[in-house]
């Protein structure tokens, strides 16, 4: 299954490192060339000799052990088809997230441009630490979440390395399945900003994380991606920064020629100020002021009307509801005319706006509904694309 493929396997310092020996065997049985890179602390849990015998290759640890003209971290990155970091410690994940390159493994990760799988393993308190979760969320890689159970440290909870089979299967999937190759996909994300004066504006709580997760997934699976977003994003695919609903509509119209799919994940403000004041509005003696608002264009509906019955592009809308989720979403997909509508329940604090997690229902224009249970937004993105193109 992996003939002709090189798997770059990064091992960090954690008790689960011993499990990676079996993963190497699985890769070798699938005819992969396995190159192993360890952090120095990883060798406290598994020996270099063991890893060399299993992989049939030298095991790299030191960053400046250069025998040829090209630096090791670049040559390893160029040679491999995929990078798998397992177990991935909180320390290594946070370093990669921050762009820190203080050992060979983190330097390779920084230079790696192909698919990356990260399988974390750590104490449950470390996994749940909000700072660590912020670091994890910055990574646009495939994250295989740890499992719950009894941990080596004596704790009971989430933190165990996921199954070796899951890592292996995901490697096969990423290397052999590029279902979006040749497709042009345009995605909007973030909450629009409607100015009132030079210092005030109308907006919403959308973080843009769901749209970004969709764009990352599409790019990783071969699509030509354009992300139109109100947030600050740096990616290797096409990212266009916008602010208001009118600007988003204009940029969208300029970028949807020949698009195969348009995903409207942005939270577009329904209204904007009728007049934007050129100077800051001063406080007066009045206890109340009146602000006149006018409707913004319904970008999703206009896009569906412009398509005028043509099968392309495929149009996917999003809706955020605080009550009667399915009832409101069913009415909305009928009014908008899109092919799919992703319904979010924003009344819950553990998912949605600003969270790394989501739980959605996918409505199709034929009336069918599929619920996706709570998961990382990267996992939700994968399931949405599997539903659309599976």
pLDDT of residue 350: 86
Element (H, E) at 385: helix 377-389
pLDDT of residue 307: 87
pLDDT of residue 271: 97
Q: Which CATH superfamily is domain 6-176 in?
A: Flavin prenyltransferase-like (3.40.50.1950)
Neighbours of 350 (CB within 10 A): 9
Domain limits, the chain: 6-176, 184-389
Instruction: Please provide the distance, in angstroms rounded to a whole number, between the alpha carbons at the two ends of the chain.
Output: 21
Distances from the Cα of 211 to the Cα of 86, 97, 142, 247, angstroms: 27, 19, 16, 18
Question: Whole-angstrom Cα distance, residue 103 to residue 16?
Answer: 20
pLDDT of residue 67: 55
- The tally of CA atoms less than 13 A away on the side-chain side of residue 252 is 30
pLDDT of residue 64: 63
Query: pTM for the complete prediction?
Result: 0.68
CATH number given to 184-389: 3.40.50.10300
Query: Residues 86, 22, 74, 222: is their CA dihedral positive or negative?
Result: negative
Q: Point out the residues that are catalytic.
A: 153
Distances from the Cα of 150 to the Cα of 92, 156, 219, angstroms: 23, 5, 37
Is residue 182 within 8 A of residue 198, CB to CB? The reply is no
Q: Check for a shared fold between 6-176 and 184-389.
A: yes
pLDDT of residue 69: 47
| Ordered per-residue pLDDT tens for the chain, 390 residues | 688 899 999 999 999 999 999 999 999 988 899 999 999 999 999 999 999 999 999 999 986 655 554 555 678 888 999 999 999 999 999 999 999 999 999 999 999 989 999 999 999 999 999 999 999 988 889 999 999 888 777 778 888 999 999 999 899 888 876 778 889 999 999 999 999 999 999 999 999 999 999 998 898 788 999 999 999 998 889 999 999 999 999 999 999 999 999 999 999 999 999 999 999 999 989 899 899 999 999 999 999 999 877 888 999 999 999 999 999 999 999 999 999 999 999 888 888 788 889 999 999 999 999 999 998 888 899 899 989 987
pLDDT of residue 177: 67
Angle among Cα 379, 381, 382 to the nearest 5 degrees reads 65
Question: Whole-angstrom Cα distance, residue 218 to residue 183?
Answer: 9
């Amino acid at each position: 299954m992996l003939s002709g493929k090189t798997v770059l396997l990064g091992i960090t310092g954690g008790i689960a490192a011993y499990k990676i020996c079996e993963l190497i065997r699985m890769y070798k049985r699938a005819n992969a060339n396995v190159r192993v890179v360890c952090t120095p602390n990883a060798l406290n849990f598994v020996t270099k000799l063991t890893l060399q015998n299993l992989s049939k290759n030298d095991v790299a640890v030191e960053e400046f052990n250069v025998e040829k003209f090209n630096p090791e971290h670049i040559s390893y990155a160029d040679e491999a088809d995929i990078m798998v970091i397992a177990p991935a410690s909180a320390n290594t994940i946070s370093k990669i997230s921050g762009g820190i390159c203080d050992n060979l493994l983190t330097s390779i990760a920084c230079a790696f441009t192909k698919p990356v799988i990260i399988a974390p393993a750590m104490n449950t308190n470390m996994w749940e630490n909000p700072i660590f979760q912020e670091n994890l969320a910055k990574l646009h890689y495939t994250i295989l979440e740890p499992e719950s159970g009894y941990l080596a440290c004596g704790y009971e909870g989430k933190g165990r390395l996921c199954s070796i089979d899951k890592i292996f299967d995901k490697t096969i999937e990423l290397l052999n399945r590029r279902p979006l190759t040749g497709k042009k996909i345009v995605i909007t994300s973030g909450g629009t900003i409607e100015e009132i004066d030079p210092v005030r504006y109308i907006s919403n709580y959308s973080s843009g994380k769901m749209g970004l997760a969709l764009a990352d997934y599409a790019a990783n699976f071969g699509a030509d991606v354009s992300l139109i977003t109100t947030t600050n994003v740096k990616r290797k695919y096409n990212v266009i920064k916008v602010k208001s609903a009118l600007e988003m509509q204009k940029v969208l119209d300029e970028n949807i020629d020949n698009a195969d799919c348009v995903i409207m994940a942005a939270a577009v403000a329904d209204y904007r100020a009728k007049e934007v004041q050129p100077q800051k509005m001063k406080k007066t003696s009045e206890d109340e002021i009146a602000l006149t608002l006018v409707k913004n264009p319904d970008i999703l509906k206009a896009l569906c009307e412009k398509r005028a019955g043509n099968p392309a592009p495929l149009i996917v809308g999003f809706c955020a509801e605080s009550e009667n989720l399915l009832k409101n979403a069913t009415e909305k997909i009928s009014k908008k005319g899109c092919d799919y509508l992703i319904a979010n329940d924003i009344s819950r604090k553990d998912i949605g706006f600003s969270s790394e997690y989501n739980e959605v229902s996918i409505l199709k224009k034929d009336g069918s509904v599929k619920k996706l249970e709570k998961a990382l937004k990267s996992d939700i993105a994968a399931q949405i694309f599997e539903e659309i193109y599976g």
